[in-house]
A and B are shown apart, each in its own frame.
Chain A
Amino acid sequence: MPNQVCSLCRIALDKVNVVRGGQTLLQDVSMHIHCGQLTVLIGQNGAGKTTLIRALLGELPHGGAIRHVDDHGRNIPRLRTGYVPQHLDFDKEMPVTVEDFMAAAFTRRPVWTGVSKRTREKVRAALADVNGEDLLKRPLGRCSGGELQRVLLALAISPAPDLLVLDEPVSGVDQNGLKMFLDTVTRLKEQHHMAILLVSHDLNLVRQYADHVVLLDKTVQVQGPPDYVYASPEFQKAFAVGARNLTSTRHHGVERWTPRVTSDPQEGGEG
């Protein structure tokens, strides 16, 4: 049940192809990332999730079209993108505080000369938006995975982008941290009505938070509301739960999918 006819402001991908070194990494990816919705990209390793993000960020040459259109289908020429990368590759001993790092993005004044009062307030306000005020003076290398993710989110949404791309870390962030992160993202979605694309590896949380789920394997296998996608044969195949049953249990207040190993041929648990 793809939504090819729609009347929402959106980032529309139309038959996006990426070929690198003679290898097709993405083929005919068509999907919409709607404003005010959380679109979640799922798929196995090597399915092309990162490639799609890089194409969206304009880092990879691609075929097809990526357009930013308003609710009447008119092109909006500019697309401001905020990006939260999956991991940061920096020296953990680097003496750079969260404030230095964010100020470097906000102002032209070199941060080795210090941070002005005005910039500090701006950084503090951005951090407050993600419940991270206490991180202001913390060296970047001393932040936990979850804290770093919040700092990056604060940076990505100031100023508010049209499209927010979130590449969720595979590890290093615990379940509570992830939930807190997604709660913040949900609030931002409602407050700023921005289009959000999340690459996620946590299928349980995806189901709980996503408005629209896209299962990718070189091309879009299936997309739609979470329940629809999770019940689809493509989903069962991709996550190898075909012969097993999915049951929903309550665990620490979080709805979780746990595969129950039985020979019961019945498919789709709750779906």
Chain B
Amino acid sequence: MELIYTIIDAILPIEALSFTFMKNAFLAILLLTPLLGLLGTMAVNQQMAFFSDALGHSALTGIGLGIVLGVSSDLLAMLVFGVIWALLISRIKQTGAASTDTVISVFSSTSIAAGLLILSRGGGFAKYSTLLVGDVLAVTPNDLAYLLIALIAGTALWAAMYNHLLLGSVNASLARTRSVHTRAVECLFVVLVAVAVMLAIKWVGVMLINALLILPAVAGRNLARSSRSHAAWSIGIAMFSGIAGLLSAYAWDTSAGAAIVLYAAACYFVSLSLRRFIK
């Protein structure tokens, strides 16, 4: 860890990064934003913005249930519940019992209500309020190890499944004639999004996590013509917003999550005005 800190000091000798907690936060953002940027491209292409939003909200229920069931780790409770929740939503979506946004809306409000109900028991919700806005400055070297593993595993999985997911998203029958297991790939995708969202939520917050997943990818879409440039723009914008947001939050003494999302939003509006020159 010391070596990495020394490298950061050498490359970026700025005041904000002279503190260890800021270095940790900086590293967390470098590890987290590329994966969110990558996953976001497909989430946007498959019009799943609302889905990932509902997924973020389910973190509250996950933690709540974890407490009720006596699970010691908040993260584990969120991960397990998030994955189950994601698979459940996509299963009901596939049966076509109701329109997608209706299904998601039902799930979203149910999970918020259930989470609030459990967490507010005895008037103690205040201690969970950091969950809503996140606290990237609380990252520890241990957390960084998790995030590094998540980034490597997530990117590897994403690389292995992307082509199949792309074919399936254009036409499922066509994909199946090319030996793509469309259902399995879709399930894997929602699980991956669920894991990435749950890992990020403690740092970015329930209210802002979806913005970080969706905004860089939508902005990138305005600037890209191919899959490759979309991924590049999306990762670039996510990382830029993350770093710029962190440093600005330090300077302005505000929530880092909010600053990061505002940068991403600014990128989106800029991309919107550039769009007609590129497309």
Contacts and interface: CB of A to CB of B under 8 A. Distances in A.
Interface in A62-94: 81-85, 88-91, 93-94
B45 A104 contact: no
Contact of A88 (B170, B176, B178): B170
Nearest to A161: B177
B250 interface: no
A95 B229 contact: yes
Interface string A99-125: 111011101111111110000000000
B45 A85 contact: no
Interface in B38-61: 38, 41, 45-47
Interface in B160-186: 160, 162-164, 166-167, 169-171, 173-174, 176-178
A174 interface: no
A112 B170 contact: no
Nearest to A93: B221
- Which of A107, A110, A112, A139 has the largest count of B CB atoms less than 10 A from its CB? A112
A120 B178 CA distance: 19
A83 B173 contact: yes
18 contacts: A57-B177, A81-B177, A82-B177, A84-B174, A85-B171, A94-B221, A95-B224, A96-B45, A97-B225, A97-B227, A101-B167, A104-B163, A110-B160, A112-B231, A113-B231, A115-B228, A139-B226, A140-B170
B163 A110 contact: yes
A147 to B, nearest CB: 15
Contact of A95 (B46, B160, B163, B230): B230
B276 to A, nearest CB: 13
B162 A105 contact: no
A54 interface: yes
Contacts of A90: 45, 169-171
B170 A110 contact: no
B21 interface: no
A128 B277 CA distance: 30
Interface string A119-157: 000000000000000000101100000000000100110
B158 A101 contact: no
A59 interface: yes
B159 interface: yes
A97 B227 CA distance: 7
The secondary structure that dominates the B interface is helix
B173 A100 contact: no
Given A96-B45, A100-B227, 4 more contacts: A91-B45, A96-B230, A101-B167, A137-B225
Given A88-B170, A101-B166, A104-B166, A111 B228 contact: yes
A104 B231 CA distance: 15
Interface string B216-244: 00001100111111110000000000000
A57 B159 contact: no
B170 A100 contact: no
B174 A104 contact: no
A11 to B, nearest CB: 14
Nearest to A99: B226
A100 B174 contact: no
Contacts of B231: 112-113
Given A100-B166, A114-B228, A95 B221 contact: yes
Contact of B170 (A101, A107, A108, A156): A101
Contacts of B45: 90-91, 94, 96
Given A95-B224, A99-B226, A111-B227, A152 B174 contact: yes
Nearest to A112: B231
Given A88-B171, A95-B221, A95-B227, A111 B163 contact: yes
Contacts of A137: 225-226
- Which of A83, A88, A89 has the largest count of B CB atoms less than 10 A from its CB? A83
A270 B178 CA distance: 43
B144 to A, nearest CB: 25
Contacts of A108: 160, 163
Nearest to A89: B171
Interface in B179-225: 220-221, 224-225
A91 B228 CA distance: 17
A140 B169 CA distance: 12
Nearest to A155: B174
Interface in B6-30: none
